[in-house]
Amino acid sequence: MSSSETTGTAPQDARRPLVAILSGAGISTDSGIPDYRGPNGLWRRDPEAEKLVTYAYYMADPEIRRRAWRMRCDGPALRARPNAAHEAVVRLERSGTPVRVITQNVDGLHQLAGMPGRKVLELHGSARSVQCTRCKARSGMAEALERVAAGDPDPACEACGGILKSATVMFGEGLDPSVLGEAVAVTKACEVFIAVGTSLQVHPAASLAGLAADHGARLIIVNAEPTPYDDRADELVREPIGTALPALLERIAGGA
């Protein structure tokens, strides 16, 4: 992929820079989805909750799985709607600017906002699907939650009887190498790299910011708290994401 790729037919599109957006939990907090590592993040409030998304605990302990299914039933992810930040990313893409989203989130809100699925790389998978840990069959999360609501606290795979989990990358699991490889390629090719709502502490996703800078991209970090890559950034934005990101992306769409 080169920085001259085009998403539209107008000749001027070819001169627009490829913009890569790495999004983390902070972009979705305005949609009612809490972050995990911020000052009020879930892991700080309830360290035991991390076990519910740790593969070894999940596979070994039926009670952990039952708690995880209850968390999925009660969680806001499937009910959440895109917010102004997600919508701003879509507007940038529709302006003719080549855009690729690399997201650490599993909520699917970029796609719900209107970003084409092929332009969104979900590094940590999707909470909108479930996957069998034995036969790898996939199905919808909503269907699995219906089974839980009907009285099955730990639904098994209907194809082989294996343990079901959300189609997300749990702690202790590796990222999909093909998705990560595409993310690396986009990062190396982009001319603007925006890290938004991410602490840049979870690797390998966090290292993409440094990789972008190493390859000459303009690095912009939009995050309320300091990150390990702030000293590499060309621009730091501390204002609330819901207002700061739309303003930033409008400026980029205008050629600034």
Binding-site residue ranges: 132, 135, 157, 160
Nearest Cα to Cα of residue 170 among 206, 212, 130: 130
Fold of 38-75+127-168: SIR2/SIRT2 'Small Domain' (3.30.1600)
- Within the chain, all domains assigned CATH 3.40.50.1220 are found at 1-33+82-124+174-256
Residue 124 structure tokens: 């940590």
- Give the relative orientation of helices 84-94 and 241-253 as an angle to the nearest 10 degrees: 10
Catalytic residue among 110, 124, 203, 215: 124
- Within the chain, all domains assigned CATH 3.30.1600.10 are found at 38-75+127-168
Query: What is the spatial distance between Cα 92 and Cα 137, in angstroms, rounded to a whole number?
Result: 35
Query: In the CATH scheme, what architecture does the domain 1-33+82-124+174-256 have?
Result: 3-Layer(aba) Sandwich (3.40)
Supply the pTM of this predicted model.
0.87
pLDDT per residue as tens, the chain (256 positions): 333 333 343 344 456 899 999 999 999 999 998 766 555 555 556 667 888 999 999 999 999 999 999 989 988 778 899 999 999 999 999 999 999 999 999 999 999 999 999 999 999 999 999 999 999 999 999 999 999 999 999 999 999 999 999 999 999 999 999 999 999 999 999 999 999 999 999 889 999 999 999 999 999 999 999 999 999 999 999 999 999 999 999 999 987 6
| Residue 215 bears catalytic tag | no
